[in-house]
Amino acid sequence: MKRNFLLLTLLVISIPVIISAQVEQPEAVKTVDSVDLDRYQGTWYEIARYPNKFQKKCVGNTTATYKKLDSGRIEVINECLLKNGKTDKAKGKAKIVDTKSNAKLKVRFAPAWLSFIPQVWGDYWIIDLDKEYQYVAIGDPKRKYFWILSRTPTLESQTYQEILRKAEKMGFAPNKVIETPQTVETSKGTVIQNPQT
Give residue-wise pLDDT tens across range 8-51: 444 445 544 444 444 567 789 999 999 999 999 999 999 999 99
Question: Could you tell me if residue 17 is inside a domain?
Answer: no
Mean pLDDT by 10 residues, the chain (197 residues): 46 47 72 98 98 93 96 95 94 95 88 52 95 98 97 97 97 97 79 66
Query: Which domain does 176 fall in, by range?
Result: 37-184
Q: What is the rounded CA–CA span in Å between residue 151 and residue 44? A: 5
173 contact partners, CB below 8 Å, separation of at least 6: 143
Question: Could you tell me if residue 97 is inside a domain?
Answer: yes
Q: What is the rounded CA–CA span in Å between residue 28 and residue 30? A: 6
Question: Could you tell me if residue 44 is inside a domain?
Answer: yes
* Predicted pLDDT of residue 17: 45
Q: Are 44 and 151 in contact (CB under 8 A)?
A: yes
Q: What is the rounded CA–CA span in Å between residue 74 and residue 95? A: 6
* Predicted pLDDT of residue 170: 97
Question: Could you tell me if residue 116 is inside a domain?
Answer: yes
| DSSP notation for 25-65 | PPPPP---S---HHHH-EEEEEEEE---GGGTTEEEEEEEE
Question: Could you tell me if residue 109 is inside a domain?
Answer: yes
* Predicted pLDDT of residue 7: 45
Question: Could you tell me if residue 2 is inside a domain?
Answer: no
* Predicted pLDDT of residue 197: 54
* Predicted pLDDT of residue 147: 98
Is the Cα dihedral 114, 117, 119, 125 positive or negative?
Answer: positive
* Predicted pLDDT of residue 15: 47
Question: Could you tell me if residue 16 is inside a domain?
Answer: no
* Count of domains forming the chain: 1
Question: Could you tell me if residue 136 is inside a domain?
Answer: yes
Domain containing 177 — which CATH number? 2.40.128.20
| pTM, 2 dp | 0.82
